[in-house]
């Protein structure tokens, strides 16, 4: 954007463009947050330690999965979502898991550990600024918003769905948050929605959303992209992503290939 004005060669972020006289396609990019857009693992470990200590009244060191970042990440990748982590790994009851969920935003906002954008993400957002973007995360919406504002990329995102906007028992891999985000961004117009995430749960969420949309006879194609920046493999995932990337910039290439020369509905 130059001179404060939008031009055809510089569309406003989050606004879909279409051919003259044709309704816009429902193409969009939806992101997971932790490990996909930002490197928040160190902060999330600190917050998890504090919450587990408060609820269990035991020192974080008593839990092997909280004793180091590597062990915490191993626990994360072996569980379906944060509820599974808190229940199976830390032994919390359903009631205490709900309590932990209610504490998360407060503790996240109160923790000052830096949460930087992953290298290459700003360039990807600029390259894909012609598409609407959203976030579906099991993190707190207020914490996500604070990071986006601090990194000066909030303008790219037309919807942010945090864990508190989804029923605590319908978190990913259930598709509720993703479907809500897609509806906000595209009004469920026919098109391609790319869901980018770094966890098996994200691929499962995309698959469930695809099934739900097909059952409703909506022509919205959900394409999952596994963000495996640290060299991980999705080979053992129960549901594999449609594409995998090692660098964020590869996401631009996938979106371009999948949307190239596809006419808008009614064109």
pLDDT of 19 over the 70 cut: no
4 pLDDT tier (thresholds 50, 70, 90) = very low
HSE at residue 130, side-chain half, CA atoms within 13 A, is: 14
Structure tokens at 184: 């906000």
The per-residue pLDDT for 215 is: 98
How would DSSP label each residue in 94-121?
HHHHHHHHHHHHHHHHH-----PBPTTH
CA distance 61 to 57: 12
Whether the CA torsion 23, 26, 27, 32 is positive or negative: it is: positive
Average pLDDT, the chain: 89
CA distances from 5 to 8, 10, 11, 24 (A): 10, 9, 10, 21
Residue 212, preceding bond cis, omega within 30 degrees? no
243 close to 254: Cβ distance less than 8 angstroms: yes
Q: What is the pLDDT of residues 33-82, one digit of tens each?
A: 999 999 999 999 999 999 999 999 999 999 999 999 999 999 988 888 88
pLDDT tens string 181-190:
999 999 999 9
Exposed, middle or buried by CB within 10 Å (0-12, 13-18, 19+), for 59?
Answer: exposed
Using CB atoms within 10 Å of the CB of residue 149, give its burial: 0 to 12 exposed, 13 to 18 middle, 19+ buried: exposed
Nearest to 224 by CA among 187, 246, 199: 199
149-181 residue pLDDT tens: 999 999 999 999 999 899 988 999 999 999 999
DSSP calls for 17-77? ---TTSPPP--EEEE--BTTTB--HHHHHHHHHHHHHHHH-S-GGGSGGGSSHHHHHHHHH
For β-strands 157-161 and 191-197, DSSP reports them as: unpaired
Q: Which pLDDT score, from 0 to 100, does residue 168 have?
A: 81
Strand partners, 2: 5
Kindly report the number of other CB atoms within 10 A of residue 116's CB atom.
12
User: Tell me, what's the pLDDT at 6?
Assistant: 37
Token pair recorded at residue 115: 């949460």
**Cβ neighbours of residue 158 closer than 8 Å, sequence gap 6 or more:** 14, 132, 133, 134, 184, 185
pLDDT digits (tens, 9 = 90+) for 193-207: 999 999 999 999 999
């Amino acid at each position: 954007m130059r001179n404060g004005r939008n031009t055809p060669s510089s569309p406003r972020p989050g606004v879909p463009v279409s051919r003259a006289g044709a309704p816009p396609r429902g193409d969009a990019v939806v992101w997971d947050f932790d490990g996909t857009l930002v490197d928040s693992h160190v902060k999330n470990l600190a917050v998890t330690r504090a919450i587990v200590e408060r609820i269990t009244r035991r020192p974080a060191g008593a839990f092997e999965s909280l004793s180091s970042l590597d062990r915490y990440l191993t626990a994360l990748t072996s569980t379906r979502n944060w509820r599974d982590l808190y229940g199976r790994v830390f032994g919390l009851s359903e009631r205490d898991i709900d309590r932990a969920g209610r504490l998360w935003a407060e503790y996240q906002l109160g923790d000052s550990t830096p949460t930087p954008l992953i290298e290459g993400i700003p360039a990807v957002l600029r390259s894909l600024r012609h598409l609407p973007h959203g976030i579906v995360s099991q993190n707190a919406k207020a914490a996500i918003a604070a990071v986006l504002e601090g990194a000066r990329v909030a303008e790219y995102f037309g919807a942010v769905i945090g864990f508190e906007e989804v029923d605590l028992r319908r978190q990913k891999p259930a598709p509720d948050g993703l479907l809500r985000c897609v509806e906000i961004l595209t009004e469920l117009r026919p098109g391609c929605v790319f869901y980018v995430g770094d966890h098996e749960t994200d691929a499962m969420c995309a698959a469930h959303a695809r099934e739900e949309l097909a059952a409703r006879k909506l022509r919205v194609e959900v394409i999952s992209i596994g963000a495996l920046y640290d060299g991980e493999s999705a080979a053992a995932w129960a549901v594999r992503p449609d594409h995998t990337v090692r660098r964020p910039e590869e996401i631009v290439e996938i979106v371009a290939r999948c949307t190239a020369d596809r006419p808008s509905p009614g064109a």
